Structure 1
Amino acid sequence: MGFTGKCYGETSPSRVSFVSREMPHVGEYVVMEYDGRRVLGMIESLLRGVPGVTEDLNDPETVERIVRVTGGRQYLRGTVRILGDVETLEIPRVPPGPGTEVRSADTETLRRIFGRGSLTLGRLLSADVPFRVDINRMVTRHIAILAVTGAGKSNTVAVIVDELLRAGGTVIIFDMHSEYVSAEFNHGSVNPIGAAINPARLSLREIKRLSNVTKNAYVQERYLSRAHRRVAPEFEGGGVSAEDFLRRMHEELDHLLAENSSDKRSIIDVQNKLEYMAEAYDEIIDLETGGIIERLRLNHANVIDLGLVDETGSDVIVSHVLQEVLQSRKDYINHGEGLETPVFIVLEEAHILAPADRSTESRYWISRVAREGRKFGVGLALVSQSPKSLDPAALSQANNMIIMRLIEPNDQMHVQRASEALSDDLLSHLPSLNIGEAVVVGLMAPVPAMVKIGEFTGKLSGGDPDVESIWRGMGGKG
């Protein structure tokens, strides 16, 4: 059932206040007709009261008498955020006048507005209307998916990936918790990619990160750099193993040791750290010559399983792949050689890869891809349950946001600073969203919306274990 109300007080082209006897809902869309145009708005806040019962009354009996005299007659007051002309979605320059009727938007109008996109994300919370977004604007302008644990982030990612596969898209998922490696999508297949890299293909910065040669170890850094500068050109054509590369690095360090005996301790430390790298990261040091780019499959969900890789290893793998993808797409656009298809990259635990309080290799390359990826068809999805811990520069580059339940005020304010489209009223509803409900803002959506994300009907391997059933099944054992 719809409702009608009336604008009152002073109005503006962006917001108006209304009063009504009928009960609308926060997030409900309304239409106002004035100056020869139909204008769409969304109810952002509501207050409910009884005439005569004001805030300065503190006597329950007085309140009861007033309610009895008025017959319990109530009124609703609220604010409407004006979203734009129904046909063009342009914000009108003239505000509605006091007394302008505010009424529920009809289903046909909503279907016309929210059915323009090609990716079905879910349905409006306020009406049984599909909510679709623009794939081009989602991929090229990037997206952040933010929520507390258990609010529905994984389901949202799965819905988006499945819809992109339906459209023939190529996706890379950095799977931090091994949720997607054995997933079953309805509209495409998973291409599992082992989290393995050949150190011969790594940059000096990445080798320093894995071997723990820190910035303040100046002498070690100098000799590692010299050895790498001599060895790296030998491996530019490929065709050699990781063992060959590490052996050559040790040989060059031995030569440097003979030439610089005064720095014996530092050079030996570098050799020890390279040995530590080979042992500590045995699972990701790849003896094959091919890189991850060569293992990608078009029109698939390419899942790089980082579930057993530590934070440092994940940082290097993610940064390396981001760099390779961006460069390969540049090569294709500029020279016709390289990765021929646009790519959408999902970064789980983005606040670990691009933290707000320290520099990482991934943080640098996430920022680079966010700035340059639009021109070369490389899109990012930053997924995080701790927005306040995520690099603000990276978050601000996401021109689209799916914001699910967020409870902590610092998380909410961090998100609001990164998105001009998230108003105070919309922000206030984030703690009360149910599982799977979200506020969606950004260029991919026609207007801000409160949405029930669709349920992914394929299979994911993540989720919380049924602890009670496991315990009961183990009854009597031990």
Structure 2
Amino acid sequence: MKNQFNPRKKMLSNDPTFLGSVASVSGSALTVHLAPSVASGLSIIEGKTYKIGQVGSFIRIPQGYQDLFGIVSEVGAKAVPEELNAAVRGETGRWMQIQLIGESVGGKFERGISQYPNIGDSVHTTTESDLSRIYNSLDTGYLNIGTLSSTESISAKISIDELVTRHSAVLGSTGSGKSTTVASVIRAFTTREDSQAAYPSARILMLDIHGEYSEALADVANVFSIDPRPGESQLFVPYWALGSNELIEFLTEGVSGDREIAFTDKIFDLKSESLESANFAGIEQSSLTIDTPIPFSLKRLWYDLIEFELTTFEGTNRDIPALLDRGNLDALIPPKFKPHAMGAQGPFLNQQAKGIRRQLNTLRSRLIDRRYQFLLQPGNWEPSQTGDIESDLDALLDGWLGGDEPVTILDLSGAPSDVLELLVGSIVKIAYDALYWSREKSEGGVSRPLLIVMEEAHRYLASEKDGLASTTVQKIAKEGRKYGVGAMIVSQRPSEVDETILSQCGTIFAMRLSNPADRSRVQGTLPDNLTSLLDALPVLRTGEAVVVGEATKLPMRCRITLPAREHRPQSADPEVAKEWALERRSEGYDRVVASWRSQRPRAVVNDVRIERQTIVDETPES
């Protein structure tokens, strides 16, 4: 019969891209028998080298006017001797398991398939010309982040729109290259190969927990730091822009019932006075709430409440304050009253006191603790006693979101660990609320989207946490795309990141992960037919990632392009052998204690002050 299928003839094709034939079809999974001509793991096609039969590499199955595309998920070989199994004659005994992922019709690639291949259909390796059709390299909406591991001549590209609006996660163990990958992706937004601005209106806000990126991205970023270096700006986060619940929780370490009402009522009164005095645009007294970002004085909040708690009265009607000393509001010195006495002579205690002295003492200790100055004494954003401020929130947002560079780095490495979650939540909430309410303006997120990069996310987005950071990021993950706010979650422990947040990340950069719980969490975010790709996570090289999801038309295993050495984050491991081999140097542990006490790595024991003498005129005499 002339039309009878001959597998041996099919497998002896002279096409250099030919790999073998479809042997079985089960849903989106195919089994392919490799041809005898595929004898090596490498193939040279049109002068370019391709790796054959590698897990994670791509294949193409021609179907007339369309092509099916798949990815290799498993490879193997039969162990049965040929003389004992006549059924495999004409075959090599080697096979590949393929997962179908999409099709190309008329040169346009789409995910999903409209038809299945038939038994015996030829399977081909995917060449650069094939993948160029898929990635559409002429489209300006893609970033080149590296090269495919299986075919190093092919660029690995990701879609900017899906990366930002559908959120993403960079996940990998310590030392797998997460920080370098993040730096590479961010730099790809900002510069082209000809050193010109790739996307001059890009807007990226990075929360740098360890201070790794300030120098790496200094040429494309504005840096705000709690402990700024030369060339960096001081980071301030105005406390009055926070929600009342989070602020009171931080200031008092917990208060409830009537005691909480004492704080909320006073804060509302102070905001109301401030609004009446300054007449802030966009808000009226009738629409003011306790959470409206209106400045008020924390010192006055403390003084007015502590005065009420300490007041004693004398006189026949017990209505005359027995004041001895008014104290000092600015210096946080409480007023003094005559001590109460037993009997009918007084002085008498204030029967209306709420019993919040302990909480007010905690508030005072926060105010005098220099570690919290960036939050509770926020520079030009610190209100006076009457609520007046030198700078409003527009100046703050202009620095964070409207700088002259496309990237803004908020270096939080100097923040105390107990305030990190509140700090991150406050920053993210300020940015999100501002862009949400300005969504119809040119400065809003719809007209100029924002990408928020969150390093060490497991520290403040843990599953068991329900604080401001987790709540706000969950809102961004669910609704942010509609308002032009995207999130990039970076973590070395994906199993500890809130599942709701991680499940909303449309693109996953999965790097080397050895912990089974972490791999399981990442696999849970992928479709069932692609989970086998992540079996390679424990053996990925440093700087290598499996990228899957919305931002890439094909799941891919790729090597991320390393930035120049001077543009890499400060996350490298210490060179132990090199440092231990050096001669002992003189050490001053007084400097260690100074940094420890001040909670600042660059603190010194004694400030070095150089007094300049009168300038000497060195002009030679005539």
**Cα shift at 1:397:** 1.4
Q: Where do 1:129-144 residues align within 5 Å? A: 129-144=154-169
Task: Report the AA paired with residue 463 of structure 1.
Answer: A
Instruction: Name the stretch that deviates more: 193-202 or 381-390.
Output: 193-202
What one-letter code is carried by the residue in structure 1 that aligns with 2:264?
Answer: S
Q: How many aligned positions are there?
A: 458
Matched, 1:363 2:470: yes
Q: Which amino acid aligns with 1:202?
A: L
Cross-structure match for 1:31: 60
**Aligned match of 1:58:** none
**Structure 1: tracts of 5 or more residues without a match:** 54-64
| One-letter amino acid matched to 2:33 | V
Q: Percent identity?
A: 22
| 1:418 and 2:525 are equivalent in the alignment | yes
Compare 376-385 and 339-348 and name the one that shifted more: 339-348
Q: Secondary structure at the match of 2:150?
A: coil
| CA separation of 1:295 and 1:182: change in aligned 2, threshold 3 A | same
1:19 aligns with 2:33: yes
**Compared CA separation, residues 113 and 308, structure 1 to 2 (3 A):** same
Write the distance in 1 (CA, Å) between the matches of 2:478 and 2:203: 20
118, 123, 130: which one pairs with 1:97? 118
Assess, with a 3 A threshold, how the Cα gap between structure 1 residues 264 and 471 changes in structure 2: closer, same or farther. farther
Q: Matches of 1:113 and 1:204 in 2, distance apart?
A: 50
Instruction: Give the 3 Å change call, closer, same or farther, for CA 233–213 of structure 1 in structure 2.
Output: farther
* Deviations 1:318-361 (CA, angstroms, capped at 9, x unpaired): 21221221222133323556677321110001111211112121
Deviates more, 1:28-37 or 1:126-135: 28-37
Alignment of 1:67-146 (within 5 A): 75-86=93-104, 87-114=108-135, 115=137, 116=139, 117-127=141-151, 128-146=153-171
Residue 90 (structure 1) shift? 4.2
Q: CA separation in 1, counterparts of 2:579 and 2:55?
A: 42
1:225 match: 264
Residue in structure 2 matching 1:204, options 240, 244, 254: 244
Identify the residue that residue 62 of structure 1 maps to in structure 2.
none
Distance 2:215 2:352 in 1: 50
Counterparts in 2 of 1:413 and 1:442: CA distance versus 1, 3 Å: same
- How far residue 177 of structure 1 moved from its aligned partner, in angstroms, is 0.5
Native 8 Å contact 2:545 2:559 kept in 1: yes
| Gap regions ≥5 residues in structure 2 | 1-15, 42-52, 191-197, 226-233, 281-293, 313-348, 382-390, 588-622
On the 8 A contact 1:231/1:252 being kept in 2, the answer is no
User: Shift in Å at residue 305 of structure 1?
Assistant: 0.9
Shift of 1:233: 3.1
Q: Distance in 2 between matches of 1:358 and 1:321?
A: 17
- What is residue 213 of structure 2 aligned with on the other side? 180
Structure 2 contact 164–485 (Cα < 8 Å) conserved = yes
**In the aligned structure 1, how far is the partner of 2:237 from the partner of 2:520?**
38
CA distance in 2, matches of 1:3, 1:277: 71
Scaled by the length of structure 1, the TM-score of the pair is 0.87
- The match for 2:73 among 40, 44, 47 is 44
Q: Does 1:404 align with 2:511?
A: yes
1:223 deviates by 2.5
2:425 matched to which residue of 1?
Answer: 319
Task: Give the structure 1 partner of residue 436 of structure 2.
Answer: 330
Q: Superposed, which structure 2 residues align to 1:229-308 within 5 Å?
A: 229-235=268-274, 237=278, 245-254=297-306, 256-257=308-309, 261=350, 266-280=355-369, 281-285=371-375, 286-289=378-381, 290=391, 291=393, 292-296=396-400, 297-308=403-414
The offset of 1:423, in angstroms, is 2.2
Quick one: structure 1 residues 138 and 90, their matched pair in 2 at CA, closer, same or farther if it must change by over 3 Å?
closer
Q: Is the 1:7–1:19 contact (alpha carbons within 8 Å) kept by the matching residues of 2?
A: yes
- TM-score, normalised with respect to structure 2: 0.68
C-alpha contact 1:421 1:441 (8 A) present in aligned 2: no
Compare 279-288 and 437-446 and name the one that shifted more: 279-288
- The AA in structure 2 aligned to 1:80 is I
Kindly state the Cα deviation for residue 366 of structure 1 after the two structures are TM-superposed: 0.5
After TM superposition, the structure 1 stretch with the greater mean CA deviation from structure 2, 246-255 or 39-48, is 246-255
Decide which moves more: 331-340 or 127-136: 331-340
Residue type at the aligned position of 1:16? L
Once the two structures are TM-superposed, the CA of residue 212 in structure 1 deviates from its matched residue by 4.6
Aligned residue for 1:429, secondary structure, equals: helix
* Separation of aligned partners in 1, 2:547 and 2:469: 26
Instruction: Work out the CA distance in 2 between the residues paired with 1:444 and 1:253.
Output: 54
Distance 1:198 1:373 in 2: 24
- The CA distance in 1 between the partners of 2:351 and 2:171, in whole Å, is 53
Moved more, 42-51 or 465-474: 465-474
* Residues 1:336 and 1:428: Cα distance change in structure 2 (over 3 Å): closer
Following superposition, the deviation at residue 274 of structure 1 comes to 0.9
Structure 1 residues 245, 150: closer, same or farther in 2, change over 3 A?
Answer: same
Q: Which residue of 2 aligns with 1:56?
A: none
Task: Give 1:12 shift.
Answer: 3.7
Alignment of 1:382-461 (within 5 A): 382-420=489-527, 423-457=530-564, 458-461=567-570
> Cα distance 1:388–1:422, how it changes in 2: closer, same or farther (>3 A)?
farther
Map Cα deviations across residues 80-122 of structure 1 (whole Å, 9 max, x no partner): 1112113332433332111111121122111222335421111
Which of 165, 185, 189 is the matching residue for 1:160?
Answer: 185
Contact 2:460 2:470 in 1 (8 A): yes
2:618 maps to which residue? none
RMSD of aligned Cα (Å): 3.0
Distance verdict in 2 for CA 1:279–1:138, change over 3 Å: same
SS of residue in 2 equivalent to 1:469: helix
Is the 8 Å Cα contact of residues 401 and 440 (structure 1) preserved in structure 2?
yes
Q: Does structure 1 retain, via aligned residues, the 8 Å contact 2:224–2:235?
A: no
Q: Is the 8 A contact 1:198 1:288 kept in 2?
A: no
| Secondary structure at 1:211 match in 2 | helix
Distance in 2, matches of 1:95 and 1:256, equals 79
SS at match of 1:88: strand
> How far is the alpha carbon of 1:475 from its aligned partner?
3.1
Q: Relative to structure 2, which stretch is displaced further, 302-311 or 282-291?
A: 282-291
* Distance in 1 separating the partners of 2:353 and 2:481: 48
Q: 1:462 aligns with which of 560, 571, 578?
A: 571
